[in-house]
Amino acid sequence: MRFKLTLKVRSDFAGYDLLPINYQFDLSEWVASSFNSPDETGFQEFLQNHKLVNNEKIFRFYSFSNLLIPKYKLIGDRLQILSNDVYFYLSIFPVSGIDNFVPLLFKGKTITLEDKKSRTIFTVENVERMREHEFSNEIIFRSMSPILVCYKDNSAIRYTEYMFPKGEKYNELFFSDLIQKIKATRSFLPRSFVENISLENKIEEWQKTISSFKLEVLGSPKSRYVTVRTNPATTMQLRGYLFPFKIKAPKELILIGYFLGFGEENTLGFGYCEING
Protein backbone atom coordinates (compact mmCIF):
# COMPACT_ATOMS: atom_id res chain seq x y z
CA MET A 1 0.00 0.00 0.00
CA ARG A 2 1.12 3.53 -0.75
CA PHE A 3 0.76 6.93 0.83
CA LYS A 4 1.34 10.51 -0.29
CA LEU A 5 2.88 12.72 2.40
CA THR A 6 2.39 16.44 1.84
CA LEU A 7 4.96 18.66 3.54
CA LYS A 8 4.63 22.36 4.38
CA VAL A 9 7.84 24.40 4.28
CA ARG A 10 8.46 26.40 7.44
CA SER A 11 9.35 30.01 6.61
CA ASP A 12 10.11 31.59 9.98
CA PHE A 13 13.92 31.81 9.63
CA ALA A 14 16.51 33.05 7.11
CA GLY A 15 17.44 30.67 4.30
CA TYR A 16 14.46 28.44 5.02
CA ASP A 17 13.93 27.67 1.32
CA LEU A 18 17.42 26.32 0.49
CA LEU A 19 17.50 22.53 0.47
CA PRO A 20 20.79 20.60 0.11
CA ILE A 21 20.73 18.53 -3.07
CA ASN A 22 22.04 15.54 -1.16
CA TYR A 23 19.17 15.35 1.34
CA GLN A 24 18.27 11.70 0.74
CA PHE A 25 20.16 10.11 3.63
CA ASP A 26 18.71 12.53 6.20
CA LEU A 27 15.21 11.86 4.83
CA SER A 28 15.81 8.10 5.11
CA GLU A 29 16.91 8.46 8.74
CA TRP A 30 13.76 10.43 9.55
CA VAL A 31 11.50 7.81 7.91
CA ALA A 32 13.31 4.99 9.75
CA SER A 33 13.06 6.85 13.06
CA SER A 34 9.34 7.45 12.55
CA PHE A 35 8.77 3.73 12.05
CA ASN A 36 11.11 2.41 14.71
CA SER A 37 11.01 4.84 17.64
CA PRO A 38 8.97 3.91 20.73
CA ASP A 39 5.51 5.45 20.49
CA GLU A 40 2.06 5.37 22.05
CA THR A 41 0.20 4.14 18.97
CA GLY A 42 0.86 0.45 19.54
CA PHE A 43 2.79 0.19 16.26
CA GLN A 44 5.83 -1.54 17.76
CA GLU A 45 3.60 -4.19 19.33
CA PHE A 46 1.82 -4.60 15.97
CA LEU A 47 5.17 -5.14 14.22
CA GLN A 48 6.30 -7.78 16.69
CA ASN A 49 2.97 -9.60 16.66
CA HIS A 50 3.10 -9.83 12.85
CA LYS A 51 6.83 -10.72 12.74
CA LEU A 52 7.59 -7.57 10.76
CA VAL A 53 10.85 -6.72 12.54
CA ASN A 54 14.29 -8.29 12.19
CA ASN A 55 16.53 -9.57 15.00
CA GLU A 56 17.45 -5.99 15.90
CA LYS A 57 13.72 -5.11 16.19
CA ILE A 58 13.96 -2.88 13.10
CA PHE A 59 11.14 -2.52 10.54
CA ARG A 60 12.57 -2.46 7.00
CA PHE A 61 9.70 -3.45 4.70
CA TYR A 62 9.14 -0.15 2.92
CA SER A 63 10.50 2.18 0.24
CA PHE A 64 10.00 5.86 -0.57
CA SER A 65 10.45 8.33 -3.40
CA ASN A 66 12.59 11.41 -3.77
CA LEU A 67 11.05 14.67 -2.65
CA LEU A 68 8.79 16.05 -5.37
CA ILE A 69 9.02 19.85 -5.51
CA PRO A 70 6.49 21.45 -7.89
CA LYS A 71 8.58 24.60 -8.37
CA TYR A 72 12.26 25.12 -7.57
CA LYS A 73 15.46 26.79 -8.74
CA LEU A 74 18.90 25.17 -8.78
CA ILE A 75 21.50 27.35 -7.01
CA GLY A 76 24.87 25.61 -6.92
CA ASP A 77 24.47 22.58 -4.66
CA ARG A 78 21.13 23.84 -3.27
CA LEU A 79 17.54 23.57 -4.40
CA GLN A 80 15.67 26.81 -3.74
CA ILE A 81 12.09 25.77 -3.02
CA LEU A 82 9.65 28.12 -4.73
CA SER A 83 6.43 26.24 -3.87
CA ASN A 84 4.61 26.20 -0.55
CA ASP A 85 4.20 22.44 -0.48
CA VAL A 86 6.52 19.54 -1.19
CA TYR A 87 5.54 15.88 -1.18
CA PHE A 88 6.88 12.36 -1.39
CA TYR A 89 5.47 8.85 -1.60
CA LEU A 90 5.86 6.05 0.92
CA SER A 91 5.26 2.39 0.06
CA ILE A 92 4.73 -0.31 2.70
CA PHE A 93 4.20 -4.03 2.43
CA PRO A 94 0.40 -4.54 2.51
CA VAL A 95 -0.11 -6.31 5.82
CA SER A 96 -3.72 -5.99 7.00
CA GLY A 97 -4.10 -3.21 9.57
CA ILE A 98 -0.76 -1.48 9.02
CA ASP A 99 -2.44 1.36 7.10
CA ASN A 100 -4.18 2.52 10.30
CA PHE A 101 -0.83 3.43 11.86
CA VAL A 102 0.75 5.48 9.06
CA PRO A 103 -1.16 8.76 9.65
CA LEU A 104 -0.53 8.40 13.41
CA LEU A 105 3.21 7.94 12.86
CA PHE A 106 3.74 10.75 10.34
CA LYS A 107 1.03 13.42 10.32
CA GLY A 108 2.04 16.59 12.17
CA LYS A 109 5.67 15.50 12.52
CA THR A 110 8.62 17.78 11.69
CA ILE A 111 11.43 16.95 9.26
CA THR A 112 14.74 18.84 9.33
CA LEU A 113 17.04 18.42 6.31
CA GLU A 114 20.30 20.28 6.77
CA ASP A 115 24.03 20.43 6.34
CA LYS A 116 26.69 23.00 7.30
CA LYS A 117 25.42 25.49 4.71
CA SER A 118 21.65 25.51 5.08
CA ARG A 119 18.64 24.05 6.85
CA THR A 120 15.11 23.35 5.66
CA ILE A 121 12.29 22.39 8.02
CA PHE A 122 9.05 20.76 6.92
CA THR A 123 5.87 19.81 8.73
CA VAL A 124 3.88 16.82 7.50
CA GLU A 125 0.54 18.45 6.73
CA ASN A 126 -1.33 15.49 5.25
CA VAL A 127 -1.04 11.73 4.79
CA GLU A 128 -3.21 10.30 2.01
CA ARG A 129 -3.56 6.65 1.07
CA MET A 130 -3.26 6.13 -2.68
CA ARG A 131 -5.51 3.95 -4.83
CA GLU A 132 -4.46 0.39 -5.60
CA HIS A 133 -3.43 -0.77 -9.08
CA GLU A 134 -4.21 -3.85 -11.09
CA PHE A 135 -1.12 -5.98 -11.77
CA SER A 136 -0.11 -8.41 -14.48
CA ASN A 137 3.16 -10.12 -15.36
CA GLU A 138 4.15 -7.32 -17.76
CA ILE A 139 4.21 -3.67 -16.62
CA ILE A 140 6.03 -0.44 -17.48
CA PHE A 141 7.52 1.46 -14.52
CA ARG A 142 9.38 4.74 -14.07
CA SER A 143 11.82 5.15 -11.22
CA MET A 144 11.04 7.95 -8.74
CA SER A 145 14.33 7.42 -6.91
CA PRO A 146 17.58 5.87 -8.21
CA ILE A 147 17.70 2.09 -8.63
CA LEU A 148 20.86 0.62 -7.15
CA VAL A 149 22.10 -2.78 -8.30
CA CYS A 150 25.63 -3.83 -7.40
CA TYR A 151 27.96 -6.75 -7.93
CA LYS A 152 30.04 -7.75 -4.91
CA ASP A 153 33.23 -9.61 -5.70
CA ASN A 154 33.96 -12.41 -3.21
CA SER A 155 37.61 -12.88 -4.16
CA ALA A 156 40.54 -12.02 -1.88
CA ILE A 157 40.49 -8.46 -3.23
CA ARG A 158 36.91 -7.44 -2.56
CA TYR A 159 35.19 -4.62 -4.37
CA THR A 160 31.69 -3.42 -5.15
CA GLU A 161 30.69 -2.55 -8.70
CA TYR A 162 27.62 -0.35 -9.13
CA MET A 163 26.03 -1.82 -12.20
CA PHE A 164 24.85 0.12 -15.24
CA PRO A 165 21.32 -1.07 -16.13
CA LYS A 166 22.19 -3.18 -19.14
CA GLY A 167 23.12 -6.79 -19.86
CA GLU A 168 22.57 -10.28 -18.50
CA LYS A 169 24.49 -9.76 -15.25
CA TYR A 170 22.38 -6.72 -14.35
CA ASN A 171 19.15 -8.58 -15.11
CA GLU A 172 20.19 -11.59 -13.04
CA LEU A 173 21.12 -9.41 -10.03
CA PHE A 174 17.93 -7.36 -10.45
CA PHE A 175 15.65 -10.41 -10.35
CA SER A 176 17.71 -12.28 -7.74
CA ASP A 177 17.12 -9.35 -5.40
CA LEU A 178 13.36 -9.66 -5.89
CA ILE A 179 13.51 -13.36 -5.06
CA GLN A 180 15.47 -12.56 -1.90
CA LYS A 181 12.79 -10.05 -0.90
CA ILE A 182 10.14 -12.77 -1.29
CA LYS A 183 12.21 -15.04 0.95
CA ALA A 184 12.55 -12.29 3.57
CA THR A 185 8.79 -11.70 3.69
CA ARG A 186 7.48 -15.25 3.38
CA SER A 187 6.59 -15.53 7.09
CA PHE A 188 3.82 -12.92 6.70
CA LEU A 189 2.89 -13.02 3.00
CA PRO A 190 -0.90 -13.03 2.53
CA ARG A 191 -2.23 -16.32 1.18
CA SER A 192 -3.55 -14.49 -1.87
CA PHE A 193 -0.05 -13.23 -2.72
CA VAL A 194 1.23 -16.55 -4.05
CA GLU A 195 -1.19 -18.55 -6.17
CA ASN A 196 -1.61 -22.19 -7.13
CA ILE A 197 1.47 -23.88 -5.63
CA SER A 198 3.50 -23.50 -2.44
CA LEU A 199 5.87 -20.59 -2.01
CA GLU A 200 8.89 -22.85 -1.61
CA ASN A 201 8.11 -24.51 -4.93
CA LYS A 202 7.64 -21.11 -6.54
CA ILE A 203 11.03 -19.87 -5.28
CA GLU A 204 12.77 -22.99 -6.57
CA GLU A 205 11.07 -22.56 -9.95
CA TRP A 206 12.02 -18.87 -10.18
CA GLN A 207 15.66 -19.56 -9.37
CA LYS A 208 15.83 -22.13 -12.17
CA THR A 209 14.10 -19.92 -14.76
CA ILE A 210 15.50 -16.49 -13.79
CA SER A 211 17.15 -16.05 -17.21
CA SER A 212 13.70 -16.06 -18.82
CA PHE A 213 12.56 -12.95 -16.93
CA LYS A 214 12.76 -9.79 -19.02
CA LEU A 215 13.88 -6.28 -18.08
CA GLU A 216 13.84 -3.74 -20.90
CA VAL A 217 15.35 -0.33 -20.18
CA LEU A 218 13.40 2.42 -21.96
CA GLY A 219 15.41 5.56 -22.65
CA SER A 220 18.82 6.59 -21.34
CA PRO A 221 19.55 5.87 -17.65
CA LYS A 222 20.62 8.90 -15.59
CA SER A 223 23.29 8.33 -12.97
CA ARG A 224 22.71 9.63 -9.43
CA TYR A 225 25.13 9.57 -6.49
CA VAL A 226 23.82 9.64 -2.94
CA THR A 227 26.10 10.39 0.01
CA VAL A 228 25.41 8.32 3.12
CA ARG A 229 27.01 8.38 6.56
CA THR A 230 28.53 5.12 7.76
CA ASN A 231 29.29 6.78 11.11
CA PRO A 232 29.24 10.42 12.32
CA ALA A 233 32.65 11.16 10.81
CA THR A 234 32.67 9.03 7.64
CA THR A 235 30.64 9.16 4.45
CA MET A 236 30.48 7.10 1.28
CA GLN A 237 28.76 7.50 -2.06
CA LEU A 238 26.26 5.02 -3.46
CA ARG A 239 25.37 5.08 -7.14
CA GLY A 240 22.03 4.32 -8.72
CA TYR A 241 20.23 5.12 -11.95
CA LEU A 242 16.93 6.73 -12.88
CA PHE A 243 15.20 5.14 -15.87
CA PRO A 244 11.85 3.86 -17.12
CA PHE A 245 11.64 0.15 -17.79
CA LYS A 246 9.36 -2.67 -18.91
CA ILE A 247 9.41 -5.77 -16.75
CA LYS A 248 8.07 -9.19 -17.70
CA ALA A 249 8.22 -11.67 -14.83
CA PRO A 250 6.01 -13.56 -12.37
CA LYS A 251 3.44 -11.21 -10.89
CA GLU A 252 4.58 -11.95 -7.33
CA LEU A 253 8.09 -10.62 -8.07
CA ILE A 254 6.68 -7.48 -9.67
CA LEU A 255 4.43 -6.90 -6.65
CA ILE A 256 7.27 -7.27 -4.16
CA GLY A 257 9.35 -4.75 -6.14
CA TYR A 258 6.42 -2.36 -6.32
CA PHE A 259 5.84 -2.43 -2.56
CA LEU A 260 9.40 -2.73 -1.23
CA GLY A 261 11.41 -1.18 -4.06
CA PHE A 262 13.50 -2.51 -6.94
CA GLY A 263 17.21 -3.07 -6.42
CA GLU A 264 19.05 -2.65 -3.14
CA GLU A 265 19.11 -0.18 -0.22
CA ASN A 266 15.42 0.64 -0.49
CA THR A 267 15.15 2.01 3.06
CA LEU A 268 17.86 4.54 2.14
CA GLY A 269 15.54 5.86 -0.57
CA PHE A 270 16.57 3.77 -3.58
CA GLY A 271 14.35 1.91 -6.03
CA TYR A 272 10.89 3.44 -5.50
CA CYS A 273 9.03 3.13 -8.83
CA GLU A 274 5.62 4.12 -10.14
CA ILE A 275 3.53 2.42 -12.80
CA ASN A 276 3.79 4.42 -16.01
CA GLY A 277 0.49 5.79 -17.24
| From-to residues of CATH 3.30.70.1900 in the chain | 138-275
Q: What is the pLDDT of residues 202-249, one digit of tens each?
A: 889 999 999 999 999 999 999 999 988 877 778 889 999 999 999 999
- Which CATH number does 2-129 carry? 3.30.70.1890
Binned at pLDDT 50, 70 and 90, residue 55 comes out as low
pLDDT category at 49 given cuts 50, 70, 90 is: confident
In degrees and rounded to multiples of 5, residue 47 shows phi and psi of -60, -45
Q: What is the percent of the chain with per-residue pLDDT over 70, rounded to a whole number?
A: 92
Q: Which of 84, 65, 159 is nearest to 123 (CA)?
A: 84
Phi/psi for 177 (5° steps) reads: -65, -40
Asked if 9 and 137 touch (Cβ cutoff 8 Å), the reply is no
Q: CA neighbours within 13 Å on the CB side: how many for 109? A: 18
CATH assignment, 138-275: 3.30.70.1900
pLDDT (tens digit per residue) in 261-274: 999 999 999 999 99
**Residue ranges of the chain assigned to CATH 3.30.70.1890:** 2-129
Beta strands (DSSP E) in the chain are: 2-9, 18-20, 62-64, 72-75, 78-81, 85-92, 110-114, 119-129, 138-143, 150-152, 160-162, 214-217, 222-231, 234-242, 244-248, 273-275
Please give the average per-residue pLDDT across 10-29, as a whole number.
Answer: 86
Mean per-residue pLDDT over the chain, rounded: 89
Instruction: Give the span between the Cα atoms of 3 and 91, in whole angstroms.
Output: 6
